[in-house]
Amino acid sequence: MNILKKLITVYYYVVGIVLLVSILLPLFWVFNFMVLGNNTNITLPSVYKLTILILLLVSLLFFHFKSIRIIKMSLNDLSNGDYFSKSVIENFKKAGIYFLVCAVLQTISKIFSSVYRFEIELGVDVSVLPFIITGLFLMFLSESFLKGQKLQQENDLTI
Amino acid sequence: MMLVKRDMKSKELAEIIGITTANLSILKSGKAKAIRFSTLEAICKALECQPSDILEYVED
């Protein structure tokens, strides 16, 4: 459990730094484009497309960051042996939903970028599968913990 | 009811049957989900009564 906690904490900070950079970098580009006037080879439609793509990727990172944060919070309860607490059940469900949102956002951004670059390929893209599997697994864990909580309550009220 | 009949206090009964007063309170209030046969046996023994004297069916 301690190793998992440390891993999640490290990953949490890595995602946080990446999110921060992904927010600051486009701002720097905008500053470069608007203030310094380095607008060579940049057309207005491409700026719009790029902005949408960046927004999609930033929101994807934001939801990923939030889900990791929620898991990190729940690990404290889990390490204390409090498996069936209300917060763990709710947090796991939330994290699962956020992972599914990440999968949707990644799919949209992939479709968008492939259309933008005209690199449409035939085949199945499995890169969203980890998000979907993790999300559904977390939601399943939440349901299991909910059943566990009911059993524990029954057990506590058996005198 | 049986406690009054036997002129016994809750704390006393809890000590005799070996459960906490908090758990006895749960039993008395009807919040308990289930009762062990050993607990029921101990209560009946302490109060000198039958299970039917202390159990009652109430429709939800």
Give tens-digit pLDDT for A10-58.
999 999 998 888 888 877 777 777 666 665 555 656 777 778 888 888 8
Q: What is the mean pLDDT of residues B24-33?
A: 89
Read off the pLDDT of residues A95-131 as tens digits, 9 standing for 90 and up. Answer: 999 999 999 999 888 888 777 665 556 666 778 899 9
Q: Given CB atoms, is B22 within the 8 Å cutoff of chain A?
A: no
Chain B residue whose CA is closest to A154: B33
Q: Give B53→chain A minimum CA distance, Å.
A: 18
| Interchain contact, A158 vs B26, CB within 8 Å | no
| Interchain contact, A157 vs B32, CB within 8 Å | yes
B50 touches B44 (CB < 8 A): yes
**Which residues lie across from B34 on neighbouring strands?**
A158
Q: What is the mean pLDDT of residues A48-73?
A: 89
| Interchain contact, A159 vs B26, CB within 8 Å | yes
Q: What is the CATH number of the domain that holds B26?
A: 1.10.260.40
Q: Tell me, what's the pLDDT at A30?
A: 72
- Segments forming the whole domain that contains residue B39: 2-54
**Which residues lie across from A158 on neighbouring strands?**
B34
Q: Tell me, what's the pLDDT at A121?
A: 61
What span, in angstroms and rounded, lies between the C-alpha atoms of A75 and A4?
9
* Comparison of pLDDT for A51 and B50, the residue scoring more: B50
For residue A89, which of A104, A73, A102 has the smallest C-alpha distance? A73
Q: Tell me, what's the pLDDT at B59?
A: 82
Q: Tell me, what's the pLDDT at A97?
A: 96
Put simply, whether the predicted model's pTM sits higher than 0.90 gets the answer no
Q: What is the mean pLDDT of residues A63-76?
A: 92
Q: Tell me, what's the pLDDT at A77?
A: 85
**Angle of CA points A42, A46, A48, to nearest 5°:** 120
Structural domain count, chain B: 1
Per the domain annotation, does B59 fall within a domain? no
Q: Tell me, what's the pLDDT at A29?
A: 75
What span, in angstroms and rounded, lies between the C-alpha atoms of B32 and B14?
15
